[in-house]
Structure 1
Amino acid sequence: METTNTALVLGATGGIGGAIAAALLRHGWRVRGMARSLATARKIGSSRIEWIEGDAMRRADVMRAADGASIVVHAVNPPNYMNWDRLVLPMIDNTIAAASSAGARIVLPGTIYNFDPATTPVIDGDSIQRPRSRKGEIRVALEERLERAAPEVTSLILRAGDFFGPGVRSSWFAQAMISSGKPVRRILNPARGAGHSWAYLPDLAETFAQLVEVPDQLRPFEVVQFEGLHDKDGMQMVKAIRRVCGREIRSIAFPWWAMSLLAPFGGFPREAVEIAPYWRHPMRLDNTRLVGLLGAEPRTPLDEAVRASLVSMGCLGDDATLGAQVSLT
């Protein structure tokens, strides 16, 4: 069966999945996307993706969609990020079964939440995973499943910090720091100290596309760190926003104290309190292995990345030229 240059992207209607799909398309891959609603997928996703109806919670659907694929990108999350304890691990089990049947490599966007930031200032391939939250524990269990499946089922995990960029709908940059749809009047800075890690999504997606094109150099269970922007003093992102906007903009500290008070009631405050340590302690991703594989990490200049992000959010007015350049579809 022909498997060359065919990718199944689970979660292709989302920010990270859509960006990876777009990068693979630019590299000449045939890309399939699986979605519960084809009408919705065709409306918000790329027209160049071959859409297949299915649910990541149904193994038969995933196996059918993966038939003939050489990679399966697992960028799917539970709807509205709810019910992680019941949905995340069954979904990766279905992906492992599908990849095994198709002879495909699993590609997974990794997070930093597998680690304790108070004891892990630098993440590399040998860093010990000590999660601080329930979601972090589930992510550790997910990665352990991939490791156990190797070498029969190969996998690639590319770990990165907080996403920002065009098409990123759920992020600290787009939902906390900046208000979408209007000029930037103030910056709400979540940083509580130095050393936060950011990942510009188009660069991260390009890295995925380049890595899957060197399969012979990848280990059966490969874990690579994407360095991105290591905000050494917690102010580099704020300063970049000011430079792009061309004026001094007031920076306000994010109200972590209010999140602590409201956390017992659940919702966003509880989620924020869980990840507050990742804004308090420095954490850098060591990309030595990545550079060894690719020669260099794809990296857009910070101001250019911030400008593209703000244009996408509608914060710098209309700019059709730039918008076309940074489109993920």
Structure 2
Amino acid sequence: MTLKSEPKLALVIGATGGVGGAVAERLLAGGWRVRALNRDPQTAQRTRGSPGLEWVKGDAMIEADAVAAAEGASLVVHGANPPGYNNWAGLQLPMLNASIAAAKAAGARLVFPGTVYNYGPDAFPSLTEASPQQPRTRKGAIRVQMEQALTRASREDGLKVLIVRCGDFFGPRPGNNWLSQGMVKSGKPIAAVTYPGPLTVAHCWAYLPDVAETMVRLAEDEANLGDFEVFHMRGQTLTGDELVAALAVAAGRKLPVSRLPWFAVRAMAPLNETMREMLEMRYLWETPVMLDNTRLVARLGAEPHTPIVDALRTALEGANALPHRPKALAA
């Protein structure tokens, strides 16, 4: 008689967010046990949790809480992120340090979502895993510091790290992203698009279920991973015109386009942290930014890729922004 092996355990820190939630769902679908850390587990489970998650009470800023939650885990997913652009300097590194401590204590691999904020114009337009990280913004500098902390922990303490770098996230859950917070108004049928940059410039996007699929497939191939691994996802690389056209198909209606009023953002920036950080990120919309996924394709054979119209339709539905159509027309 063959005894059934116990499923592997993953700790997801930030399971109510975009990246953490998507990875948690993919892990559950793959047969993993998934533990989720949250300060208010009952509310999290009721409002944002996926069925099957094992919720534990704790604060992502407190190392002892993260370490206790990671007991028995072979994977720790760092999906925690401050809401909006608020207080990155005060929150990002302490949260990451707690995740590092948890992964080290459990002997687990730490999975970390990378961003293009790490790079300045000297590295554009095509970013590889070896591109120089010389950011021109405060937010970018913090992201570089976070990856440096991961590098030190790997080199000095033997922490196993997997970084998957992507473009701007969007997905089934509305949240802290440009699509559902800047271009489309969540909670009402889409009628127009506000675009932050020139419509002819290419920009890279990352559909969260594709990101989760990529992360989990890489993590499950532990035998072929080095101690410190970085992979870039190409994702959905689209000009503004292409994105608006795909949104129109997904919504089933023509969509007028207006430009984001940067003059208003600039005027509010001295008084509003979110506006200030948005203004600093403007350069990412004014020049083509693409991620070279050659290394990822060599490892997986192909990058997980949901057709853009399907991905946007799901995102609009999640944001309650799909136009309401008569039943006869929908049929």
Residue from 219, 222, 235 that aligns with 2:226: 219
Indicate conservation of the 8 Å contact 1:155/1:222, yes or no: yes
Which of 199, 206, 210 aligns to 1:203? It is 210
Specify the code of the residue in structure 1 equivalent to 2:30.
H
Aligned twin of 1:304: 310
| Number of residue pairs matched by the alignment | 317
**Alignment of 1:316 onto 2:322:** yes
Q: Which amino acid aligns with 1:62?
A: A
Q: What is residue 7 of structure 1 aligned with on the other side?
A: 10
Q: Distance in 2 between matches of 1:3 and 1:257?
A: 57
C-alpha RMSD of the superposition: 1.8
Cross-structure match for 1:324 = none
Q: CA deviation at 1:285?
A: 0.5
Segments ≥4 residues shifted beyond 4 Å: none
How many Å apart are 1:228 and its aligned residue?
A: 0.6
Aligned residue type for 1:215: E
For the 8 Å contact 1:106–1:154, the answer to whether it is kept is yes
Letter in 1 for 2:175: R
The aligned counterpart of 1:325 is none
1:34 alignment partner in structure 2:
37
Q: 1:273 aligns with which of 267, 276, 279?
A: 279
Q: CA deviation at 1:268?
A: 2.7
- Report Cα offsets for 1:20-68 as digits up to 9, x if no partner: 1001111111100000111222112123110010112211111110110
Paired-residue identity, %? 46
Cα deviation for residue 3 of structure 1 reads 8.9
Distance 2:320 2:11 in 1: 31
Structure 2 residues without counterparts, runs of 5 or longer? 326-331
Deviation string 1:117-153 (CA, Å, 9 cap, x unpaired) is 3542111110100112112111111111111222511
Mark the CA change 1:57 to 1:214 in structure 2 (over 3 Å): closer, same or farther.
same
Equivalent in the alignment of 1:71? 75
Given that 1:118 and 1:281 are in contact with CA atoms closer than 8 Å, whether structure 2 keeps it comes out as no
Q: Distance in 2 between matches of 1:81 and 1:254?
A: 18
2:53 aligns with one of 32, 49, 52: 49
**Rounded Cα–Cα distance in structure 1 between residues aligned with 2:170 and 2:83:** 20
Structure 1: give runs of 5+ residues left out of the alignment. 320-329
* 8 A Cα contact 1:3 1:69, kept in partner: no
The aligned counterpart of 1:87 is 91
Match of 1:73, SS state, is strand
Q: Are 1:311 and 1:317, in contact at CA under 8 Å, matched by a contact in 2?
A: no
297 and 47 in structure 1: CA distance in 2 versus 1, 3 angstrom threshold: same
TM-score normalised by L of structure 2: 0.91
Contact 1:162 1:198 in 2 (8 A): yes
In the alignment, does 2:247 pair up with 1:241? yes
Match of 2:143 in 1: 139
